[in-house]
Structure 1
Amino acid sequence: MVEQVNIAILGASGYTGAELVRLLTHHPKARIGAITADRKAGESYGAVYPHLAGLDLPPLTTIDALNWDDFDVIFCG
């Protein structure tokens, strides 16, 4: 049985992406391995969405920096 699913969220700085981040951080089988926002790459997610600061999330990155094979599921926000 799968312990956790490694997830990437593309466009995580938009409303839909932020909702995905918020929902998936509370899911016991989800591990957010990458969140992208090309114009905000390098920033922490909490800098973009202060109400989500403190969550254990990777920094925002560009889509081009992803290794697609690293992820079990990829969401487009």
Structure 2
Amino acid sequence: MPNIFLKDEALAKSPAIVGFEIANFIKASGKSRVSIFDVVNHFKRKPWFSSNSFFYGITFLYAVGLIEFDEPYLVAPDAN
């Protein structure tokens, strides 16, 4: 099984850091429910952005219980 955290990977692309950026964006939006398309549109020009890093970031947030999915929305139950 491949490792989700790689020692040769840039720290800014790690799932925890990307998840933090996504969680901050959701919190700053002031809503508990944000379209995944809006999130991708906001981050697509960031140097760390790739489909893999974004996928692992939202997977990390889901795994620790900070977001839920309600297609096509990311739902943060405790956005406050």
TM-score (norm. length: structure 1) = 0.32
Greater fraction helix: 2
Larger Rg: 2
TM-score under structure 2 length normalisation:
0.31
